[in-house]
């Protein structure tokens, strides 16, 4: 195989999946596809403020982002794999770039929709709009489902159905229309139990919201939840289209991923 052929085939496969999902928006991948069992797990880790993870993936081009809950400690690569050490917890990531891109309208968020605009007005003058929006979205989406297809925020408002992706999209639309920068994050969360298995990482989507001078991790599926050490971020979601390449890369990476818990604080 010629150098670079593997990456080309991987990208081609991801694009095929993207086309299928875009043409069939109701298709969802099975939740069992996203299960990763951590090594060196013990029950006393579940409520720690910070956890150091070692993440191994069989792709030397694999990268993880620095986020509001995630700090990259080291990265080592060889011909076949990448080993990344991270600290997950409350990192207090600041931002010196242009925040306008995280306030824009998109075909997925539809912040110009009357329902979104009306709801966002309710949060503009609150003392704590970040938690208020998260709590509203959690309570508003009554039918909690599993799967990964994304639909526009106004439909989520009307249907009141969805999983983590729908919670994130609706919350992001309200935040942005209320003047609060928000961006999507895809990755995994360490769940107590999922599909009959305990203490496993499962695919998840959440938000980062910029407020009072820094980014905050916000998970509308778990309002008031502050155990940020359970989250491992794979990529930012641009919140523009249903299935961006970063989203597919995050999902595909779960297949060959190993997570080991190194230390806690």
CATH number for the domain harbouring residue 210: 3.10.620.30
Q: How many whole angstroms separate alpha carbon 244 and alpha carbon 194?
A: 26
According to the model, what pLDDT value does residue 128 have? 94
According to the model, what pLDDT value does residue 20 have? 35
> Residues of 161-198 as b/e, b for ≥16 C-beta within 10 angstroms?
ebbbbbbbbbbbbbbbbbebbbbbbbbbbbbeebeeee
Quick check: is 6 in a domain? no
Quick check: is 10 in a domain? no
Tokens 């990192």 -> residue: 91
Instruction: Identify the CA nearest to 217 among candidates 199, 231, 200, 203.
Output: 231
Into how many domains does the chain fold?
A: 1
- Mean of the per-residue pLDDT values of the chain: 82
Q: Record the pTM.
A: 0.84
According to the model, what pLDDT value does residue 11 have? 44
Residues 89-110 pLDDT 10s: 987 677 767 899 999 999 999 9
Q: How many whole angstroms separate alpha carbon 107 and alpha carbon 110?
A: 5
Task: Tell me the mean pLDDT in the region 13-27.
Answer: 38
According to the model, what pLDDT value does residue 247 have? 54
Instruction: Identify the CA nearest to 18 among candidates 188, 172, 241, 239.
Output: 241
Task: Tell me the mean pLDDT in the region 111-115.
Answer: 97
Q: Residue 243's domain spans which residues?
A: 99-256
Q: How far is CA 257 from the centre of its chain?
A: 17
Among 122-131, 214-223, 236-245, which stretch is predicted with the lowest mean pLDDT?
A: 236-245
Using the predicted structure, report yes or no on whether residue 28 has a pLDDT greater than 90: no
Using the predicted structure, report yes or no on whether residue 32 has a pLDDT greater than 70: no
Using the predicted structure, report yes or no on whether residue 14 has a pLDDT greater than 60: no
**Residue 156 CB-density burial (10 A; 0-12 exposed, 13-18 middle, 19+ buried):** buried
According to the model, what pLDDT value does residue 53 have? 96
Quick check: is 238 in a domain? yes
β pairing state of 257-264 and 82-88:
unpaired
Quick check: is 31 in a domain? no
According to the model, what pLDDT value does residue 217 have? 95
Q: How many whole angstroms separate alpha carbon 165 and alpha carbon 156?
A: 10
Quick check: is 92 in a domain? no
According to the model, what pLDDT value does residue 75 have? 97
Quick check: is 38 in a domain? no
Using the predicted structure, report yes or no on whether residue 218 has a pLDDT greater than 60: yes
Quick check: is 247 in a domain? yes
Quick check: is 248 in a domain? yes
């Amino acid at each position: 195989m010629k150098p670079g052929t593997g990456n080309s085939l991987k990208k081609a496969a991801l694009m095929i999946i993207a086309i299928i999902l875009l043409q069939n928006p109701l298709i969802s991948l099975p939740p069992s596809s996203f299960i990763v069992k951590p090594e060196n797990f013990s029950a006393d880790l579940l409520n720690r403020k910070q956890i150091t993870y070692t993440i191994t993936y069989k792709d030397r081009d694999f990268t993880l982002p620095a986020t509001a809950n995630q700090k990259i400690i080291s990265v080592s690569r060889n011909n076949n794999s990448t080993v990344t050490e991270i600290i997950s917890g409350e990192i207090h990531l600041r931002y010196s770039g242009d925040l306008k891109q995280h306030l824009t309208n998109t075909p997925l968020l539809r912040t110009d929709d009357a329902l979104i605009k009306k709801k966002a007005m309710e949060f503009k003058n609150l003392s704590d709009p970040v938690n208020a929006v998260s709590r509203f979205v959690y309570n508003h989406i009554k039918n909690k489902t599993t799967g990964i297809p994304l639909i526009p925020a106004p439909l989520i408002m009307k249907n009141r159905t969805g999983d983590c992706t729908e919670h994130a999209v609706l919350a992001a639309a309200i935040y942005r229309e209320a003047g609060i920068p928000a961006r999507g994050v895809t990755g995994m969360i360490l769940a107590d139990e999922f599909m009959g298995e305990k203490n496993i990482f499962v695919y998840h989507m959440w938000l980062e919201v910029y407020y009072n001078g820094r980014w905050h991790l916000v998970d509308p599926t778990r309002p008031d939840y502050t155990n940020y050490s359970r989250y491992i971020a794979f990529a930012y979601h641009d919140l523009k289209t249903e299935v961006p390449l970063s989203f597919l890369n995050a999902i595909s990476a779960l297949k060959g991923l190993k997570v080991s818990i190194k230390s806690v604080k």
